Amino acid sequence: MSLLEYAIDLTRDLVRFDTTNPPGNEGRCAEFLAELLEREGFSVTLHELEPDRASLVAYLGNGRGRPLCFTGHLDTVPLGKATWSVDPFAGEIRDGKLYGRGSSDMKAGVAAFITAALEERESIVNSSGVVLVLTASEETGCQGAMALVRDGVDQHNAGAIIVGEMTANYPLIGHKGALWLKLTAYGKSAHGSMPEKGDNALYKAGRALQRIQGYQVPAPRHAILGAATISAGTLHAGSSINVVPDHAELCVDIRTLPGMSHPATAAALVAELSPDIAEATPVLDLPGVFTDIDAPWVATVYRIVEEETGIRPEPRGASYFTDACALQHAHPGVPMVILGPGTPEMAHQADEYCEVPRIEEAVRLYRRLITDWCAEDGRHPD
């Protein structure tokens, strides 16, 4: 079986596991990969997030130096309400496209870097090696990766991180953080026929919503990632049409820049919306990540990508968050790139697909990045 055939078959195997989150159910998929990697000589640790949900860390190397880390998540988003023209869990291939929920986001990337690691076992085993971090529950806030870090699961002191997320094999060197806040307004209930007796919390949330529309998050613009942003997502208030609501919750999505203080960002927003908004409670709190453009390993990644794809990369960032939020902060100072075969425009779409040639290209890229890392082992001391 050729490398391409192996990577395609493995992608199809992974798509056939329904790991829709919620509820996730990544456990069987993680166990399948754990058995595969153990057969090939990797040492594997399974980490339970919840019943039927697990992440895994797999390592191969000589135990010295800092390994190259590949990471990817096993969960997918729900199918949505749109009708699919294919079975979303069959891994069907048509016209050079592999269809299925998670094909681009991001089971093709996981399959590609596992395939590359298996093909390069001989160079890996005699070097600082490779560590594969495969996570549960990334789609709802990187809970699997955060739990690995929180519980001290050994990631073998990774020296660099490749996130196999969907980039159409274009290397990205950072992404914004995510600060989701629940903003609360309080009032006083009253009968709907006597509104003057109450204090309408929904009106307060409405005034806050208007101000949010024109609000500029106080942060200098990032040269690569751009400006911090804010978007209102949900509004909940009231128990009945004929009751003045005494409580309203407005949820906002703030995309922050690396180095921004999230508590200070939340406090500044509450101050701006006072007195209508009384408090802000974090729902999701993920830091931004960024790798220095001048990092030597980034230059290596750019060179290999250009040689394999014919495209000369320029510094760019991702619009979405990844498990690097947790992993890069667990390995301070290590360089990170986001690089994977998935088609970004297919994320969370009906009839999601990944282009088959991109998977083959990703395997080649990952193999070269592995062999370069292992050949330059002396650059990656403990």
Q: Among the three residues 286, 313, 337, which one is the final residue of a domain in this structure?
A: 286
Cα 290 from Cα 257, distance rounded (Å): 9
Please state, in angstroms and rounded to a whole number, the distance separating the CA atoms of residues 350 and 163. 24
Q: Are residues 169 and 188 in the same domain?
A: no
Enumerate residues 6+ apart whose C-beta is below 8 A from 153.
Answer: 45, 47, 55, 57
Q: State the average pLDDT over residues 233-241.
A: 97
| Amino acid, res. 137 | S
- Can you read off the two tokens belonging to residue 85? 């023209």
Say yes or no: 186 and 168 in one domain: no
**165 plus 37 within the same structural domain:** yes
For tokens 């490779």, the residue is: 130
Q: How many CB atoms lie within 10 A of CB 375?
A: 11
Tens-place pLDDT, residues 14-26: 999 999 999 999 9
Are 186 and 118 part of one and the same domain?
Answer: no
Do 14 and 139 sit in the same domain of this protein? yes
AA identity, residue 253 = D
- pLDDT(44) > 80: yes
| Same domain membership, residue 261 and residue 198 | yes
CATH of the domain at 157: 3.40.630.10
What's the number of domains the chain is made of?
Answer: 2
Q: Is residue 310 domain-shared with residue 222, that is, in the same domain? A: no
**Average pLDDT for residues 185-214, to the nearest whole number?**
97
Are 56 and 198 members of one domain?
A: no
Alpha-carbon distance of 133 to 327, in angstroms, equals 9
Q: Give the residue among 9, 127, 4 at the shortest CA–CA distance from 68.
A: 127
Q: 271, 286, 301 — which closes off a domain? A: 286
Q: What's residue 319's pLDDT?
A: 84
Instruction: Using the predicted structure, report yes or no on whether residue 351 has a pLDDT greater than 50.
Output: yes
Domain limits for position 230: 177-286
pTM value?
0.94
State what percent of residues in the chain have pLDDT above 90. Answer: 93
Give the distance, in angstroms, between the CA of residue 120 and the centroid of all CA atoms in the same chain.
26
Do residues 266 and 225 share a domain?
Answer: yes
CATH number of the domain encompassing residue 190: 3.30.70.360
User: What span, in angstroms and rounded, lies between the C-alpha atoms of 6 and 115?
Assistant: 7
Per-residue pLDDT reduced to its tens digit, 109-143: 999 999 999 999 999 999 999 999 999 999 999 99
- Burial of 186 from C-beta contacts in 10 A (0-12 / 13-18 / 19+): middle
Whether residue 257 sits in one domain with residue 119: no
- The residue out of 286, 308, 335 marking a domain boundary is 286
213, 301: one domain: no
Kindly state whether residues 198 and 267 are assigned to the same domain. Answer: yes
Query: How far is it, in rounded angstroms, from Cα 97 to Cα 339?
Result: 19
- In this prediction, residue 381 carries a pLDDT of 56
pLDDT in tens, 298-346: 999 999 999 999 999 999 999 899 999 999 888 888 999 999 999 998 9
